[in-house]
């Protein structure tokens, strides 16, 4: 990794000096601001973090933010509601919408001049009981009506305030034993009701979202979707089918929930490039790198270094493809990470529970510093900016 000084940092130093002179402070004493992920990011790439508004942002006071809120605003130019826009949170009853958590995310983003990624409109998980129970008896028309109302209501409420939406999330199920994938026409309540034409329904969800907010970029999104494999082959075929049918699909997102128990897929850049060749944007949408921990709950030195390398390689795959619009970590501190509650692993984020920056954080910072502002891919070695 290079530690070259970017143009942005030089400008910041100059600005600090000018401000100091205006205040009568010797220029030599002017201290430039510390670089952040947000300040070092290329102009065409949003660096983001997931956040749970209902938990962390309802008490936001711009004049007296919590330490978490201060870091979230300083380090990231984009935020994703981790749970606040999922069905169970935002649409808990048939005729009830609860926008409090999502509104808190939007308000925080506005106050901190951040973009927002919407997450998510069509998913098989975290649906309210009324949806999962009704799906056993729904006709396809009934399911479509419920889904259309939800999409138009939620996307319409935040029209002009969300720059990217994860429209269809995890719609393919891995079949590890068979070495392939299949559409989730059993687990997803809406695809289940419309199993005769699930692709037609998926296309319509994109149409409804686009009609509700023509400016937002609309994404497919999934895990195990980083490199070229059976799942991304299926998504590639689906993307071609949706585009041929005129659906307003505009992006493909790889979640990038990685574990050190497995290798890194070096075909990630090639995978992003083939989706970009279809005219789509691509994004890393939910990055974290978990690991099994010892009895003391601490990672080894080797694990810490390998985690930093994995984060760096994820970022570089994004930076190397001009169509990559955003790189989002799924929470930035271990105290709020979803990982320990789901996996017997941990230490997955770029900061500790006490907000200490890990080598993984500095790997991302260096990678962003070395990126060409506004153009991506990464600055060629030896290029003096």
Q: Could you give the residue ranges of the DSSP H alpha helices within 213-336?
A: 230-244, 268-276, 301-319
Instruction: Judge if the upstream peptide bond of residue 205 is cis by omega within 30 degrees of 0.
Output: no
Write the CA distances from 4 to 110, 116, 380, integer angstroms.
Answer: 32, 30, 12
Which two structure tokens, joined as six digits, stand for 121?
A: 């409109």
Give CA 353 to chain center in angstroms.
Answer: 21
Please confirm, yes or no, whether 75 is among the known catalytic residues: no
The residues with which 116 forms a beta bridge, in sequence order, are 79
Closest CA relative to residue 166, chosen from 217, 106, 96: 217
**Quick check: 256 and 284 in contact, CB under 8 A?**
yes
**Sign of torsion, CA 46 101 110 119?**
positive
Q: What value, to the nearest 5°, has the Cα angle with vertex 308 and ends 297 and 39?
A: 120
- Per 3-state DSSP, the chain is made up of helix, strand and coil in percentages (nearest 5) of 40, 20, 40
- Among residues 286, 302, 353, 356, the one annotated as catalytic is 286
Phi, psi (rounded to 5 degrees) for 60:
-65, 125
Check residue 273 and report its DSSP letter.
Answer: H
Residue 183 carries which DSSP code? E
Catalytic residue among 164, 170, 298, 353: 170
CB 116 within 8 A of CB 163: yes
The DSSP call for residue 346 is B
- Please state at what angle helix 359-369 crosses helix 301-319, rounded to 10 degrees: 30
What is the distance between the alpha carbons of residues 369 and 75, in angstroms, rounded to a whole number? 14
170 is an active site residue: yes
Q: Residue 14 corresponds to which tokens in the numbers above?
A: 């100059």
Host H or E run for residue 81: strand 78-81
CB hemisphere CA count around 266 (13 angstroms) = 0
- As annotated, the active-site residues are 170, 286
């Amino acid at each position: 990794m290079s530690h070259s000084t970017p143009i942005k940092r030089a400008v910041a130093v100059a600005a600090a000096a000018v401000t100091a002179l205006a205040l009568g402070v010797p220029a030599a004493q002017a201290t430039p601001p510390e670089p952040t992920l947000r300040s070092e990011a290329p102009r065409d790439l949003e660096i983001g973090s997931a956040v749970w508004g209902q938990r962390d942002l309802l008490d936001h006071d711009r004049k007296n933010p919590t330490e978490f809120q201060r870091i979230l605003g300083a380090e990231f130019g984009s935020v994703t509601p981790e749970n606040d826009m999922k069905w169970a949170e935002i649409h808990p009853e048939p005729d009830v919408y609860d926008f409090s958590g999502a509104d808190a995310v939007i308000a925080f983003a506005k106050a901190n001049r951040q973009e927002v990624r919407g997450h998510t409109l069509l998913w098989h998980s975290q649906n309210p009981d009324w949806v999962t129970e009704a799906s056993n008896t729904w006709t396809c028309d009934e399911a479509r009506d419920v889904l259309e109302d939800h999409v138009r209501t939620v996307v319409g409420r935040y029209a002009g305030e969300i720059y990217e939406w994860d429209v269809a999330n995890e719609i393919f199920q891995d079949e590890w034993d068979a070495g392939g994938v299949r559409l989730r026409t059993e687990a997803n309540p809406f695809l289940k009701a419309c199993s005769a034409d699930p692709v037609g329904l998926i296309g319509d969800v994109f149409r409804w979202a686009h009609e509700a907010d023509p400016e937002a970029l609309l994404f497919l999104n999934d895990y195990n979707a980083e490199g070229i494999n059976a799942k991304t082959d299926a998504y590639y075929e689906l993307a071609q089918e949706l585009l041929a049918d005129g659906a307003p699909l505009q992006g493909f997102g790889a979640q990038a929930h990685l574990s050190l128990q497995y290798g890194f897929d070096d075909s990630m850049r090639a995978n992003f490039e083939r989706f970009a060749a279809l005219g789509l944007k691509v994004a890393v949408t939910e990055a974290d790198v978990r690991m099994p921990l010892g009895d003391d709950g601490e990672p080894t030195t080797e694990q810490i270094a390998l985690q930093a390398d994995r984060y760096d390689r994820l970022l570089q795959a994004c930076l190397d493809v001009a169509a990559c619009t955003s790189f989002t970590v799924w929470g930035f501190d271990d105290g709020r990470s979803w990982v320990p509650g789901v996996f017997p692993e941990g230490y997955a984020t770029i900061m500790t529970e006490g907000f200490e920056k890990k080598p993984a954080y500095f790997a991302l910072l260096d990678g962003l510093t070395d990126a060409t502002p506004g153009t991506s891919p990464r600055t060629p070695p030896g290029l003096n900016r």
